[in-house]
Amino acid sequence: MEVPILKQGGILIATVQAALTDADLLQLRRALIERVVQMRSRGVILDVTALDVMDSFASRTIREIANMIRLRGTETVIVGIQPEVAFAMVQLGLTLDGVATALDLEEGLYYLNRKFKRAAS
Amino acid sequence: MVPKRDEDVVVVTQDTADDGTPRSETTTRLLRELVAHLRQNRTSLREEWVQRITEAQLLTAMTKEEIFAEATSVYDSYVAALETGTFEALQNYARNLSERIIPRGVETHEVVGIVLLLRDVLARSLFAKYQGDFEELNRILDAYEPAANRIANTVAVGFVQERERVIRQQQEAIRELSTPVLQVRERLLILPIIGVIDAQRARQLTEQLLRGVRSNRAKVVVIDITGVAAMDATVANHLVQTVEASRLLGATVIVTGLSPEIAHTLVTIGVDLSKMNTVGDLQGGIEQAERLLGYKVAMMAENA
């Protein structure tokens, strides 16, 4: 299932709607990078509220996405990780090091906007 | 003499084990006789039993009158259980009794002890009654013993189960009491940890904290471990896990109140605390959290 990517000002918002297969993840990675380049976005929010499982491949891909996007000078925030998912991830040692996280979409937007403001001043 | 007795016993066994129905009929008849005997001698047997309980120094937490009152009820339920062959009433009574006496510090060995004493007292009285008739005594004991054993079993199991229930309840209560997640300001939670952290508690702490972060939309969490006496590598790793899990929800964690001893231990065993944000005490932790959240606490200007 394809993940819709919405544009909101300079920010791209990708909201995961259902469980993702490995192929879906790779497709998401490709689509996001393309869009970031195309739209010259300044920030990306990946909303994983709907995910109730996060395996090692998913978390590695998410980290890769964030790192690739950073190379374009764009910041990525992962939002909406469920408490149970967070706990399970930590126990598996999947801690998304170096990737920004926020509670939900609103927080993610707030985080990015503050960052832009700081960069502007 | 001896062979004759052997023969007798064999005959008795054949008699009773002949077939399912007659045997149970015999048993019923014998039990009825037994119950009648126990009812008849209720007062004296009960007194003897209480006497033996006192001698054996059981139930020292209770007064003599209380022991006597309980003994009467137990005796009656015991006889009723022998008579009806159903143990539910006795079971209920045993549970009820346990509920009353556990808070007073009555131990398992005491409860088992008094039931076994009753069994002995009754068996002794049966010996005395059927002294003359060895075969009848044998038959009556055959009927009595399994029932008595089952009763002893029921009472002991009831007591132990009740005890376990109480223990479980207390554990639950302690667990709930021990992990409060408190909001001190908008988006700022504190989690004071007191006592020993084991794997299960660490898990529960993390779960509760994550739920708290979600429901209070917290951005900063201060975990205060002033009340944690000792910490080893396992506990430290649990703490690191809690910190990382909170970060995945977008909350920053500040750990406060590491005592010099704990700090020393952690450095010595080489736990990687680089991901942890630590501040000396709870006050400092809250102050830093306020800075992170953009709060500015200022003293009110003194008015004249």
ipTM score above 0.85: no
Same domain, B24 and B141: yes
CA distance A6 to chain B (A): 22
Q: Is B297 exposed, middle or buried (0-12, 13-18, 19+ CB in 10 A)?
A: exposed
Q: For residue B303, is it within any domain?
A: no
Yes or no: say if B216 and B189 are a contact pair by the CB < 8 Å rule. yes
Q: Does B301 map to a domain?
A: no
Which of B175, B199, B215 finishes a domain? B175
The CATH number given to whatever domain includes residue B78 is: 1.10.490.70
Is residue B113 domain-shared with residue B27, that is, in the same domain? yes
Distance from CA of A13 to the nearest CA of B (A): 17
pTM of the complete model beyond 0.80: no
For residue B141, being part of any structural domain is answered with yes
The count of structural domains within chain A is 1
For chain A, the residue count is 121
Binned at pLDDT 50, 70 and 90, residue B18 comes out as very low
B101 and B197 housed in the same domain: no
Q: Are B302 and B269 in contact (CB under 8 A)?
A: no
Number of domains making up chain B: 2
Provide mean pLDDT across the span B15-33: 60
What kind and span of H or E run contains B190? strand B188-194
Percent of chain B, pLDDT > 90?
A: 16
Q: Is A87 on the interface with B (CB under 8 A)?
A: yes
Instruction: Provide the token pair at B171.
Output: 């554990």
Pick from B153, B175, B197: which residue ends a domain?
B175
- Identify residue A65 by its one-letter amino acid code: I
Q: Quick one: closest CA in B to A81, which residue?
A: B249
pLDDT of residue B123: 86
Shared domain for B190 and B112, answered yes or no, is: no
Strands (E), chain A: 5-8, 11-15, 43-47, 75-79, 100-102
Residues B144 and B67 in one domain: yes
DSSP structure class, residue B103: G
The region, left, alpha or beta by phi > 0 then psi within -120 to 50, assigned to residue B294 is left
- B170 and B98 fall within a common domain: yes
The per-residue pLDDT for B13 is 38
Q: Which of A12-26, B73-87, B89-103 has the highest mean pLDDT?
A: A12-26
In-domain check, residue B158: yes
Predicted pLDDT of residue B1: 42
pLDDT score for B87 = 79
For A65, phi and psi rounded to 5 degrees?
-55, -50
User: Are B274 and B162 found together in one domain?
Assistant: no
Q: Is the CB of A1 inside 8 Å of chain B's CB atoms?
A: no
Both B165 and B251 in a single domain?
no
pLDDT by 10s per residue, chain A, length 121: 788 999 998 899 999 998 889 999 999 999 999 999 888 899 999 999 999 989 999 999 999 999 999 988 899 999 999 999 999 999 898 888 889 999 999 999 999 999 989 988 8
pLDDT at site B176? 67
Residues B14 and B69 reside in one and the same domain: yes
The CATH number that applies at residue A32 is 3.30.750.24
For residue B9, the model assigns a pLDDT of 40
Q: Which domain holds residue B205?
A: 182-293
Q: Is the pLDDT of residue B24 over 80?
A: no
Residue pair B81/B147 in contact by the 8 Å Cβ criterion: yes
Contact list in B for residue A78 (CB cut-off 8 A) is 248
What is the reported pLDDT for B152?
Answer: 84
Note whether B289 and B141 are same-domain residues: no
Residues of B with CB under 8 A from a CB of A: 203, 206-207, 210-211, 213-214, 217, 219, 241-242, 244-251
Structure tokens at B174: 């302690």
CATH number at residue B288: 3.30.750.24
Q: What is the pLDDT of residue B293?
A: 92
> Residue B2 pLDDT > 50, yes or no?
no
Per-residue pLDDT band for B286 (boundaries 50, 70, 90) equals very high
User: What is the average pLDDT value for chain A, to the nearest integer?
Assistant: 91
Q: What is the residue range of A90's domain? A: 5-120
- Residue B224 belongs to what H/E stretch? strand B220-227
Domain match, B102 and B199 both: no
Q: Binning pLDDT at 50, 70 and 90, where does residue B19 land?
A: very low
pLDDT of residue B267: 83
Tens-place pLDDT, residues B135-163: 888 888 888 888 888 888 888 888 888 88
> pLDDT grade, residue B15 (50/70/90)?
very low
User: Of B118, B140, B175, which one is at a domain's C-terminal end?
Assistant: B175
| Shared-domain flag, residues B76 and B148 | yes
Higher-pLDDT residue of B3, A18: A18
